[in-house]
Amino acid sequence: MPEVSEQEYSHQRLQQVNTALDSGMFVYVRKLLQDMPAYDLALLLESSPSKSRMALWQLIDADHHGDVLEELNEEVRKSILKNINPEKLAAVAEGMDVDDLAEVFRTLPDSVYQEVLNAMDWQDRSRVETALSFEEDTAGGIMNTDTISIRPDVTVDVVLRYLRLRGKLPEATDSFYVVDREDHFIGAVSLSSIVTAKAETIISHLIDKDIQAITADLNEKDVAQLFERYDWFSAPVIDHEGRLLGRITVDDVVDIIREEAEHSMMSMAGLDDEADTFAPVIKSTQRRSIWLGVNLITALMAVAVSSMFEGILNQLAILAVLNSLVPSMGGVAGNQTLTLVIRGMALGHVGESNSRILLYKELAIGFFNGLIWAVLIASVVAIWQQDLMLGAIIAFAMLMNMTAAGIAGVTVPLMLKKMNIDPALAGSVILTTVTDVVGIFAFLGTATLMLG
């Protein structure tokens, strides 16, 4: 019997749940949902039309609501939160990790946020306010305050007795953080060191010097790069005075990497990375219309350049046939470079120090690619139309546009980054405009000079 993939299994389960819902078999659906982990429940909600989403939410066990909210994307979470009253939301927030709690509360309208805060006990309210005191995309915004700190002058035996009394370790604990009486971070001791050391060993002798603390205002992308570079499982977070605030674990970093990948992919199409696949038609239309409008403006620029050469186009119909070839090749070449540069910027490989070297490299690649394809296309056109001059014209235009595409592919994302504009969001639109305008102008302009 062929093995069913995880994706196929998820779709089969979604079909099973939707069929049961349509038949009014709510008890059966509740039983199905009871055995599902939080991630699968979130996937089920995100894969369901908005009409059946709230019905599914009400059938999920209330004890799992907090875990499911943590896994949902922002747009779907908003659609569910707006239908939950503040008292119930306050109950859901109990027991949630601080970083996940902050993420949920940032999606609430101000009026609802204040009502939910008022419905919480002082301890949960304090957790929320602490988490929201940091910017969303910083180490402080994604950290968890559930950590175990120990003093440097106690013995391993004292620590072990404390852990037995505590009974349960925070999730993903691989290290304990050593602090002084004012909570200043001194270092970290791995769990394995504690377990294997002699009972009388002083904690200060076990401190791992390789574990570094992260400041709370460090950007989350930089945090992810540090985890990747040093293969960390967790890292302590401190304030500017060196006091321990919390910790970041590898599962938080995986979320950052996934969100960044989604953001880059969706931005290339001018879409929001948190967009709801099953959002209402009017809402989706409004969002997509913005970038379609921007694209129309840039396309009109290319049309305006073509209209400048209307006379030569009327004289030689073959030019109109070939006119789209040069911009198309330039666009593909430019997007290859653009994608490479945006990836390099995201990984920290590309910056001001080496951008000039990259520009020269891509300029050379654009020139040689232009040369190769110019000769090939010129030969085809010359043989097809029995016209060497026409072949030479398209060869020159191809060489110019491929070279321009290489330059634009490097300079456009670098310029956008300096202007604090996301290169993934606007880069492809600007690049397409450059290759269209240069390609059309080079081809028709040269044709006007040589054949007009």
| Contact indicator for 163, 203 with CB cutoff of 8 Å | no
- CA–CA separation, 274 vs 266, rounded Å? 9
The per-residue pLDDT for range 117-176, each reduced to its tens digit, is 788 777 777 777 777 888 888 999 889 888 899 999 999 999 999 999 988 888 889 999
Give the SS3 label for residue 74: helix
Q: Which residue has the higher pLDDT, 35 or 141?
A: 141
Looking up tokens 């490479």 gives 340
275 pLDDT band, cuts 50/70/90, is low
Q: Which whole number is the average pLDDT over 318-335?
A: 87
Angle at Cα 254 formed by Cα 140 and Cα 77, nearest 5°? 75
Domains and CATH numbers, the chain: 6-137 (1.25.60.10), 149-249 (3.10.580.10), 281-451 (1.10.357.20)
Q: pLDDT-derived band of residue 1, with 50, 70 and 90 as boundaries?
A: very low
206 or 2, which is more confident: 206
- Does residue 46 have a pLDDT over 80? yes
What's the whole-number average pLDDT of the chain?
A: 84
> Side-chain half-sphere of 145: how many Cα atoms within 13 Å?
20
Q: What is the DSSP letter of 36?
A: S
Mean pLDDT of 55-84: 84
3-class SS of residue 211? coil
What pLDDT sits at residue 116? 80
Alpha carbon distance 355, 75 (integer Å): 37
Decide if pLDDT at 28 tops 60.
yes
* pTM (2 d.p.): 0.64
Segment 3-10 shows an average pLDDT of 62
Q: pLDDT at position 452, please?
A: 63
Q: Which of 380, 405, 401 minimizes the C-alpha distance to 444?
A: 401
